[in-house]
Amino acid sequence: MSEPTKPRANPFRHQAYRFGQPEAPHYSLCPGAHPPVGSEEFARRMDRVGASLDAAGVAAVYLVHGTLVGEDAAGVVAELARVFPRAGRAVRRAIKQIVDKLSGEVGNYTGEFAECFEQAINRPERPHIPVRRFDWSSENHHLGRADGAVRLIDELVQAKPPAGRRVLLWGHSHAGNVFALASHLLSGNREAVDQFFGAAEIYYAWPLLRCVDVPVWKHVYELLGGPKSPLSEVALDLVTFGTPIRYGWNPAGYSRLLHFINHRPAQGLPEYRAAFPPRIDDVARAAGGDYVQQLGIAGTNVIPSVFAWRSWLADHRLGDLLQEDLPPERRRDRFRAGAIVPDAGTTLLVDYGPLEGGVTQHLAGHAVYTSRHWLLFHAEEIARRFYGQGADHD
């Protein structure tokens, strides 16, 4: 009798929701006062940031939005694009323009934000560093984030950053989990790539016929199947803002990793834990920080429509691969743990102070990161912690 076949090991790392001390370093910060956007002091200090990025060899900066502010949050356009690709692209652009106009900088990186950032860090005497926006569907499920990771890799490869240079990526909310998945795909682990694309194959290729109708997936799969990662000669520096803890990270797929989290410690709890359950009035005032980051963990996905049955099945299979499930009686423990510090990279627990407006303006503390008001603070912290320069104050 032949030996039973052993199940394939899962190379994807699951983030644990633990009550105890986080494994990765974390620090508490209070930003304090800083000059307003457009002031001479703002321009001077952002110029120092630009100089540090140039000295470190940064070739480009990408801003990546989070959930629900993208080009296809409901997953409807993806089905149209299977049959009419050009029409799908046009509809996506139109939807994103509408979303940008309606949301502004409330949990969204606008074109004006990117333009302000790019102008502030560049000078004629230095090589130009573009600040680009990368759009993904923003669907709140495994497949949406997986599709974002695949398209992000394709975008970076097509941009052809010079070998030996760096690319700095800023990701708000679940864009950080798009980065996490990309880190596994770019790690050089062929088994991880095969399992990932195998789980999602029904989404991008018809079963039995194997006819590919989402060609970017097949293209990236082929790129990742080469003798080395298509971005192996480019260092990826990743920054997340308010990213809920979901997936693990593979350090072989990135160079540096930093997290910003809006947080105020709860009485009686260590600084690295959030209180659960939160009080409604605290959420309305963002009294404890970023409640979306605290609560948007495993178990909060929106399932794809059953009418898009291929997406639904691919999302289910990806869930088995990417997320360790818990028995029903233990699922509440995920939230009770109040885990807000990822197990990889360095986390900055930032007290941004009282936020203006109601919950629709600050999104329960989740919108603070994408405001130009905090651009200088974020840029200086990143330049200092990643590249050792860029800030002229403690």
The 10s digit of each residue's pLDDT in 180-196 is 999 999 999 999 999 99
Q: How confident is the model at residue 338 (pLDDT cuts 50, 70, 90)?
A: very high
Amino acid letter for position 357: G
What is the C-alpha separation between 138 and 248, in angstroms, rounded?
Answer: 19
User: pLDDT at residue 2 above 60?
Assistant: no
**Beta carbons within 8 Å of 60's beta carbon, 6+ residues apart:** 129, 130, 131, 132, 159, 161, 167, 168
Buried residues in 357-392 as b, exposed as e (16+ CB within 10 A):
eebeebbbbbbbbbbbebbbbbbbbbbbbbbebbbe
Q: How confident is the model at residue 392 (pLDDT cuts 50, 70, 90)?
A: very low
Query: Quick one: pLDDT at residue 209?
Result: 77
What is the overall mean pLDDT for the chain? Answer: 93
Query: Quick one: pLDDT at residue 8?
Result: 65
How many domains does the chain fold into?
Answer: 1
In a domain, 146, yes or no: yes
Pick the range with the lowest mean pLDDT from 18-22, 37-41, 235-239.
18-22
Buried residues in 67-93 as b, exposed as e (16+ CB within 10 A):
bbbbbbbebebbeebeeeeeebeebbe
Query: Quick one: pLDDT at residue 393?
Result: 41
In a domain, 122, yes or no: yes
In a domain, 9, yes or no: no
pLDDT digits (tens, 9 = 90+) for 274-329: 999 999 999 999 999 999 999 999 989 999 987 799 999 999 999 999 987 777 77
What is the C-alpha separation between 202 and 322, in angstroms, rounded?
Answer: 17
In a domain, 144, yes or no: yes
Range of the domain at 163: 26-67+97-387
Query: Quick one: pLDDT at residue 13?
Result: 65
In a domain, 77, yes or no: no
Query: Which secondary-structure segment (H or E) carries 260?
Result: strand 256-262
In a domain, 138, yes or no: yes
pLDDT digits (tens, 9 = 90+) for 82-98: 888 889 999 999 999 99
The residue written with tokens 């989070």 in the block is 66
Q: How far is CA 64 from CA 165, 298, 369, in A?
A: 20, 21, 12
In a domain, 85, yes or no: no
User: Which token pair is 143?
Assistant: 């497949």
Query: Quick one: pLDDT at residue 6?
Result: 52
Give the closest residue to 309 by CA, choosing from 45, 41, 133, 75: 75
pLDDT digits (tens, 9 = 90+) for 149-180: 999 999 999 999 999 999 999 999 999 999 99
Query: Quick one: pLDDT at residue 394?
Result: 36
User: pLDDT at residue 1 above 50?
Assistant: no
In a domain, 168, yes or no: yes
Sheet holding 166-172, edge to edge: 26-29, 346-350, 256-262, 235-241, 166-172, 58-64, 131-134
